[in-house]
Structures are given as C-alpha cells and as structure tokens.
C-alpha cells in the first residue's frame, strides 16, 4: 500500500506544484507575455528556428532532457535508502530543477534563442561567457562519447531493443512528412506509436528480429565501438537536418512511448501493490570490494541523482533547442516547468520499481512466484558489464532478499548493466501483473531506455554544434539591423522594412546574420563544419582506448572522463541558476527563487569536486581526472566571483526590449 500512496501522492503533488508555484513563476517572476514575438517566429529559418505546436515541443524537450539520467541516477542512489532518494527527487524537481529549466528557457526566448552559455557574456561579463562555454563543451563532449557506450550495452543486454530503436527513424520521418502536409498530429502520433510497439512485439517474440552482430564484425571491432560509430554517423545527419524532419517527430513518438510506459508501470503498481523491500535509510553502504571507495551520502546524493531533481544539461536543451521552437511564450510554463515535473514523476516511479517492483519476482498467470534469476536476461561477464546476481544461491527467490542481492554494497561503479538491471526488471515485474508476457515487458522497458538515450544523443550533438559556433565567435544569433527577403535572400533595407522585395515581390522578412570576417568564425558558422568537429572529437574520445586495447576490445574510452561527469553536469546547473539570478537582479525582480537553489547546488557540487580531487590525487593513473577536477573548481570560483562583483555594483535594469 505504501507504493500506491507514494505514486498517487507524488502525482497529485506535481499537479498542485505546477498550478501554484509554476503559475507564480510564470506570472510574477518571469512575467510571461503570450503576445511577445517568439524567436521561432521572428527568426524562422526552417532548420533550427521552427514555430511548432506545444505538444510537439514538449515531446522534444522532455525526451531530450530525460535520457537515461532519471533512471540510472535513482537506481544507483537508493543504496543510501529510498527515503533520501525520494525526498531529493520531489523537493529538487519542484523548487530547483523545474525553476532552473523554466528560467533558462525564458531568458533565452527574451534574447532571440541564444544559449544560456552565450548569454552569460551579456548578463554577467564577456569573460564568464568563455568560461561557461568551456564547461559546456567539456560536458557535452563526455555525453557524446559515452552515450554510444550506453546504447551499445543496452543492445547487448536486450537484443530485442535493436530493431525498435532503429525502426523509429523511418517512422519519425514519416510522421514529420505527415504533419508538414497538414495531417493531424494526434492521429499521426497514434499511428506512429502503434507501429513502434509492433516492432517491439516482433523483437520480443521472434529471434530473427533480435539483431545481433555477426562474428565477421565482432572479430574485428568490438560491439561497443561498432554501435558508437554507427550512432555518431546517424547523429551527424540528425543534427544538420531541419529539426522538424527527424528530431521533433522522433522525440514526439518517444514522448508517447514514455506516457504509455509510465502508465503501464503505474497501473502495475496499483494492481500488484508491492511492499517496499529496500532499506529506508542507509548512509553507510558497504564497499563493493574490500577497501573500495563509497561516496559519502552528502554531497554525493545530490550529484548522483541529477536528472529527476536538477540537471545542468537541461539548461542547454531549454535555451539551445526548445527556445527556438516555441511559437509563443504562453507555452513556456508547460515545456520549461511541466516537463521537469514529468521527469520527476518518472524518477519517482524508478525508485518504486527498484525498491518494490524488484521484490516481486516474475509472476505467472496463476500468481505463483518463480525464481528471481529467471526474470533476468543472459548477462555474460565482460569488461563493461558486471553480472549483478552472480552470487545468487539456490534458495533465494524474491522480496527483500532480491533487493539486497543487488544493493548489499555500493554499485555505482559496477557497470551500466548492473545499474539498469534493477529498474528494467522491477518495472517489467510490475507490468507483468497486468497480464502482459514477460518477454514483451522486458522488451518494452529495454526500448524505453535505449530510445531515451538515443534522443539525448541527438540533441547533445545539435547543442554541441551551437556551442562550438558560439565559442568560435560564429553564433547563429549575431544579427545585423538589415532584413533579408525570406523568399530570395535580397537585402530589403533597414529593420521592419515593409515594401515588397524588388527582386521577387515577397513581403516576408528575416534579420540578416552578421558575416564573420575571422576565417575560424566563418568556418564554424557552417553547420556541417561545426557538426563534423563535434562528432569527430566525440569519436576520438570514445575510441581513445584503441592504442591500448585494439579495435576489437575498444569503445569505452569515454569512461576515462566519466567519473567527473556528474559533478560537471551539476556545476553547469548551478552556473545556469547563477546567470538567471543575475538576470532577475538586473530586472529588479525577486531573485530568491533561483538564488537559493543556486547557492545549494554550487555548494554541493564544489564539495563533491573537492572530494573527487582528493581521491584522484591518491590513486594511480588518475592524474588526468585530477587536472579536470582542479580546472572545474577554478572555473566555478572564477565565474562566481565575477557574478558577485557585478551584482554588488547594483547594475541598472536592462532594456525592456530584451526582457
């Protein structure tokens, strides 16, 4: 019964928060104006700036910010107990994460869709802009290098997910064509989701649909390296294509998939009513190996659970992608605040699946419990995946025993398969109580995780393209006062010229972009060039272990920087809140709504980075991580000092045209 109360209670809490605190932020703090011209309308270019329906942007935004973060983070952090994890998700998402996302979205829309990292130069100082962009480049570089590994491991654990994940590409393209030709979005979405679930059914029931790599490939290149390269080629095209061709429709389909999966999981919890079998609080879990390192509960709970509570990556999606697609500010609360609350509810369900659903075992149609390990896929040991139940003995079946079999010791560094298994299996156990076959339930959850990882990879590549261009001084938002004819490109005079174009007679205009004179800036102003740099550097990091392992064993090079990603990501969240806080101070509006979360996140993140640096300093072969940690601390201190000096001077209110 506790699980039912938690699930329904958190849902009600999020609805109330959206209609009270979210509305307060929209009306009193950010002062939403539905009549203000949105960047997607003012700067429509058919590629990045595309006015889109609220539901389409919500789907794109949510699936981009979710990824595997709200799954892996809670699935690891419940080792400290389900109560701290649940409290952090509920409180963090409402008063920190959603405020962070909403604020990033709004100030980007007020400044013609520029990323919050680029805006830091206007809001704080030009030096902060460069420092902020460096933090962003580092974080996105790790994401691009590591998510190929994430998806490859999922493909290996759950081969039934390969076909549905790749089948989403043509289905999404078809949905995009349908919508652009005037088709009903809801009808098209339902058909697309039905087709996607048909591919999941094929993958779950037919061996020929469970795509595995042949030996002729795996003998020469590791599966991880192979899938990483394939996915990087895919995201290159996904990044340079107009957003409405692939990115938006695919994310929209995945949003529907999320709604279905969350609905099934919630229904399963209501039907099964599984008891919570996890420890309520366990601040000192055992190390996985004798003498091994276990991160302290504080501050690492707030770094381990990022997505689902607050995540710095979200500010990039909000300011770099979603702000360029919303057709009115009136949709900003639903996308900026509402999507984060939805992700918080997902993280809540993940906690319940890991702490209650995991204890159900596999239930057959007669309600009899089967052996726990029968619900697991075949997990052969390798360098990347640690079998989570290899110490399981014959007489253990379900309940708290199953939970302790996985969470008896800290497992945050035990491999992706080890971290995902409790959620996928626990969620599948709940779904099975609805009468669905076990293989199908496992396939649904495997596709769910892999699809969200792929959508994050898509968006991260596009964001890295924007950031590289901005860092090189070739950001797409460097505009002149001249207007161009949208039909033929002829220069039609000054701002707001209304006369028909002398070349073609069209009256449709767009602001002209500044033509960079610096050769480097001109090079990176080209989206193909900037995307190529983003993809190639990610490939170099992902395959950086080729010299030591050979191509047949390589593909996990991104893991060399993974230990600092969590802290880097949360540092980015604290810095984004800092920029929004300074902006509110300049606007002479109450800044406490962002200042308090900012102070908390910067303190927790700085503390975590210091502890990480101490650990790296005493470990062999961690010199590169020590250097990165020190650099992150220096960047944080520098940016904070610059902002404090600026705020202390009590700057005048910025012009209302940009506010």
CA 450 to chain centroid, in Å, comes to 12
Mean pLDDT over 84-104 rounds to 97
pLDDT of 390 higher than 50 = no
Least Cα distance to 377 among 146, 196, 153, 77 occurs for: 153
**pLDDT of 364:** 36
Q: How far apart are CA 101 and CA 111, in angstroms?
A: 16
Residue 507 half-sphere exposure, CB side, CA atoms within 13 Å?
4
Q: How far apart are CA 621 and CA 456, in angstroms?
A: 30
**pLDDT of 534:** 92
Q: How far apart are CA 572 and CA 455, in angstroms?
A: 20
Write out the two tokens for 191.
Answer: 């058909």
Provide long-range contacts, Cβ within 8 A and 24+ apart, for 646-653. 646/124, 646/125, 646/582, 647/582, 647/585, 651/585, 651/586, 652/586, 653/586, 653/587, 653/588
Residue with tokens 């900026």: 336
Model confidence over 540-588: pLDDT tens digits? 998 888 888 888 888 788 888 888 888 889 999 999 999 999 999 988 8
**pLDDT of 207:** 73
Q: How far apart are CA 605 and CA 310, in angstroms?
A: 12
- By three-state DSSP, how is residue 571 classified? helix
Least Cα distance to 154 among 201, 203, 220 occurs for: 203
Q: How far apart are CA 300 and CA 292, in angstroms?
A: 16
Least Cα distance to 179 among 247, 105, 261 occurs for: 247
pLDDT of 94 higher than 90 = yes
Least Cα distance to 194 among 158, 162, 168 occurs for: 168
pLDDT of 502 higher than 70 = no
Would you say 534 and 239 are in contact if contact means Cβ atoms under 8 Å apart? Answer: yes
Question: What pTM value is reported for the model?
Answer: 0.84
Give residue 468's pLDDT band: very low, low, confident or very high (50, 70, 90): confident
pLDDT of 513 higher than 70 = no
Give residue 509's pLDDT band: very low, low, confident or very high (50, 70, 90): low
**pLDDT of 463:** 87
Residue with tokens 């013609």: 112
pLDDT of 298 higher than 70 = yes
Annotate 513-547 with three-state secondary structure.
ECCCCCHHHHHHCCHHHHHHHHHHHHHHHHCCCHH
pLDDT of 138 higher than 60 = yes
Mean pLDDT of the chain: 82
Q: How far apart are CA 526 and CA 468, in angstroms?
A: 11
DSSP state of 500: P
Is the omega angle on the peptide bond into residue 299 within 30 degrees of 0, that is, cis?
yes
- By three-state DSSP, how is residue 245 classified? coil
**pLDDT of 397:** 40
Would you say 304 and 566 are in contact if contact means Cβ atoms under 8 Å apart? Answer: yes
- By three-state DSSP, how is residue 485 classified? strand
Q: Which H/E stretch holds residue 162?
A: helix 162-180
Question: Which of the residue ranges 103-112, 388-397, 639-648 would you say has the lowest mean pLDDT?
Answer: 388-397
How many residues belong to the chain?
A: 659
279 backbone dihedrals φ, ψ, rounded to 5°: -70, 140
**pLDDT of 303:** 93
pLDDT of 100 higher than 80 = yes
**pLDDT of 367:** 34
Q: How far apart are CA 363 and CA 349, in angstroms?
A: 20
Write out the two tokens for 434.
Answer: 């609805």
Model confidence over 30-50: pLDDT tens digits? 999 999 999 999 888 888 899
């Amino acid at each position: 019964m506790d699980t039912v109360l938690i699930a329904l209670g958190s849902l009600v809490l999020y609805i109330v928060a959206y209609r009270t605190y979210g509305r307060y932020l929209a009306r009193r703090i950010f002062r939403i104006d539905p009549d203000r011209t949105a960047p997607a309308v003012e700067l429509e270019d058919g590629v990045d700036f595309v006015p889109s329906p609220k539901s389409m942007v919500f789907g794109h935004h949510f699936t981009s910010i979710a990824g595997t973060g709200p799954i892996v983070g809670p699935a690891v952090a419940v080792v400290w107990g389900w109560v701290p994890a649940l409290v952090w998700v509920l409180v963090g998402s409402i008063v920190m994460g959603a405020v962070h996302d909403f604020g990033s979205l709004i100030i980007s829309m007020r400044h013609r869709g520029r990323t919050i990292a680029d805006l830091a130069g206007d809001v704080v100082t030009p030096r902060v802009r460069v420092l902020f962009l460096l933090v962003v480049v580092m974080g996105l570089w790790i994401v691009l290098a590591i998510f190929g590994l994430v998806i490859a491991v999922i493909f290996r654990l759950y081969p039934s997910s390969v076909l549905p994940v790749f089948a989403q590409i043509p289905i999404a393209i078809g949905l995009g064509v349908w919508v652009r030709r005037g088709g009903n979005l809801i009808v098209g979405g339902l058909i697309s989701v039905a087709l996607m679930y048909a591919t999941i059914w094929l993958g779950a029931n037919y061996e020929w649909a469970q795509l595995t790599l042949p030996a002729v490939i795996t003998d020469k290149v590791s599966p991880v390296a192979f899938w990483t390269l394939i996915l990087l080629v895919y995201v290159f095209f996904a990044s340079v294509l107009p957003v409405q061709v692939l990115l938006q429709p695919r994310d929209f389909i995945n949003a529907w998939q999320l709604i279905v999966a969350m609905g099934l999981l919630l229904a399963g919890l209501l039907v099964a009513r599984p008891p919570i079998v996890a420890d309520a609080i366990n601040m000192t879990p055992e190390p996985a190996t004798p003498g091994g390192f276990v991160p302290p509960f504080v501050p690492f709970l707030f770094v381990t659970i990022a997505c689902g509570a607050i995540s710095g990556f979200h500010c990039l999606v909000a300011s770099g992608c979603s702000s360029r697609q919303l057709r009115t500010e009136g949709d900003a609360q639903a996308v900026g605040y509402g999507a984060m609350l939805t992700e918080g509810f997902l993280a809540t369900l993940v906690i319940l699946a890991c702490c209650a659903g995991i204890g159900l075992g596999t239930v057959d149609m007669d309600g009899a419990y089967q052996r726990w390990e029968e619900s697991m896929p075949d997990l052969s040991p390798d360098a990347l995946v640690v079998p989570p139940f290899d110490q399981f003995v014959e007489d253990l079946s379900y309940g708290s025993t199953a939970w302790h079999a996985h969470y008896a010791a800290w497992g945050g560094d035990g491999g992706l398969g080890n971290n995902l298994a409790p959620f996928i299996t626990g969620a599948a156990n709940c779904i099975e109580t609805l009468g669905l076959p076990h293989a199908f339930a496992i396939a649904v959850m495997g596709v769910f995780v892999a699809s969200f990882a792929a959508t994050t990879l898509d968006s991260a590549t596009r964001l890295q393209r924007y950031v590289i261009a901005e860092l090189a001084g070739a950001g797409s938002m460097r505009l002149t006062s001249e207007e161009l004819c949208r039909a033929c490109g002829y220069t039609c005079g000054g701002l707001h010229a209304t006369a028909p174009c002398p070349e073609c007679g069209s009256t449709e205009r767009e602001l002209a972009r500044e033509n960079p004179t610096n050769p480097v800036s001109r090079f990176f102003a080209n989206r193909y060039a900037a995307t190529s740099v983003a993809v190639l550097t990610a490939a170099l990091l992902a395959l950086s272990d080729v010299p030591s392992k050979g191509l047949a064993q390589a593909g996990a090079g991104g893991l060399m920087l993974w230990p600092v990603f969590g802290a880097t990501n949360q540092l980015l969240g604290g810095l984004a809140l800092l920029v929004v806080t300074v902006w509110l101070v300049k606007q002479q509006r109450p800044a406490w709504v962002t200042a308090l979360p900012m102070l908390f996140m910067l303190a927790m993140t700085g503390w975590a980075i210091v502890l990480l640096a101490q650990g790296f300093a005493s470990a062999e072969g961690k010199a590169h991580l020590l250097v990165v940690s020190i650099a992150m601390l220096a960047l944080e201190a520098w940016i904070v000092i610059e902002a404090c000096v600026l705020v202390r001077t009590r700057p005048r209110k910025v012009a209302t045209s940009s506010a």
